[in-house]
Amino acid sequence: MSRSEIPAEPFPISVDFARTALVIIDMQRDFLEPGGFGAALGNDVALLGAAVLPCKAMLAGARAAGMLVLHTREGHRPDLSDAPPAKVLRGDPTRRIGAAGPMGRILVRGEAGHDIVPALAPLPGEPVIDKPGKGAFYQTDLDLLLRNRSIETLLVTGVTTEVCVHTTVREANDRGYRCLVLSDACASYFPEFHRVGLAMIAAQGGIFGWVSSTDAVLAALAARDQAA
Ligand code: TIU
C-alpha cells in the first residue's frame, strides 16, 4: 500500500488513493444556471461557474487513477412527498421547490434543471446519489457504497461551500471519513461564506477536515505514478 502526502491546511494529509473517493456535490443546472433554484433564491449563479473547470480537472484525474467517483444531486420526487413542508414553503410561491421554471420544475428529479452540468456529466457506472437534503449521507446509501469499497478519505468538491459541501463534510467526519475539501473546486454565491466556510473546516487543528487544492492533489497523483 503506497501513501501520498498532500499539502493541506491545517497540516499535510497522507492518503492512500486506492481508498480515496472523489465526491462531487450538486453541480446541477439548478444551482449553476439562470432560472433554477439558486437564481430563485435571489443569487448570482455566475459565481458558481468558477468551480466547474477545477472539478473537471479533478474528475479527469480521478478517473485516470481509477478512483471511485460519486456525484450527488439535491432534489425531490415529482409529488414532493420526500420534501419537508418546512423546506418547500419558503420564498415566492411561484419560484419555490416544485414550481415550474425555464429548466422544468425547480429541484425536481427528472427535470432538466436537476441534471448535472454537461461538463461534469457522470459516466455510466459512476454512482449518482440523489439526496433530499443538504447532506449527502442523509436518507441515502452513500455510507454503504463507501464502506463496501473500504474508502477512508473523501476528496470533496462542488457547491455550495457553506451549505451542501459543509453539511456533507460534517456528516462524513462524524462517520469516520477523512475529508479533504478542494477549495478551488468548491464555490458559493457568497465569496465571504466560501472563504470563511473553508477556514471553519481547517480551524482548530482541522476540526472536521482538511483544505487543499485541485493542483495539489493532481501533483500528488502524478508523483505517485512516477514513483510506480
Ligand atoms: N442555497 C445554497 O447555497 N445551496 C443549496 O441550497 N444547496 C446546495 O448547496 N447544494
pLDDT recorded at residue 1 = 62
CA of 222 to the centre of ligand 1 (A): 33
pLDDT at 200: 98
Angle at 25 (CA atoms; ends 106, 160), nearest 5 degrees: 70
190: nearest Cα among 160, 167, 168: 160
Distance CA 151, CA 147 (A): 6
CA pair distance 62, 55, nearest whole angstrom: 10
User: What's the pLDDT at 2?
Assistant: 87
What residues are in contact with ligand 1 under a 6 Å CB criterion? Answer: 26, 31, 41, 74, 134, 159-160, 163-164, 189
Closest CA to 155 of 174, 187, 181, 177: 181
Active centre residues (catalytic): 26, 131, 164
Three-class SS of residue 193?
Answer: helix
C-alpha cell at 52: 466547474
**Other CB atoms closer than 10 Å to residue 90's CB: what's the count?**
11
Write the residue with the smallest CA distance to atom 1 of ligand 1: 38
Cβ density class 186-201: b for 16+ within 10 Å, e for less: bbbbbeebbeebbebb
Cα 93 to middle of ligand 1, angstroms:
18
To 5 degrees, how large is the angle CA 112–CA 39–CA 131? Answer: 55
For residue 92, the model assigns a pLDDT of 86
- How high is the mean pLDDT in each 10-residue block of the chain (228 residues)? 93 98 98 95 96 98 98 98 96 92 97 98 98 98 98 98 98 98 98 98 98 98 91
**Which residue among 88, 163, 167 is best mutated to probe the pocket of ligand 1, counting the most ligand atoms within 8 A of its Cβ?**
163
DSSP label of 176: T
Q: Give pLDDT, residue 91.
A: 82
The answer, yes or no, to whether the previous bond of 160 is cis (omega within 30 of 0) is yes
> CB burial class (10 A; 0-12, 13-18, 19+) of residue 224?
middle
d(Cα 31, Cα 120) in Å, to the nearest integer?
A: 14
Task: Look at strands 68-74 and 178-187 and give their pairing.
Answer: unpaired
186 Cα to the center of ligand 1, angstroms: 12
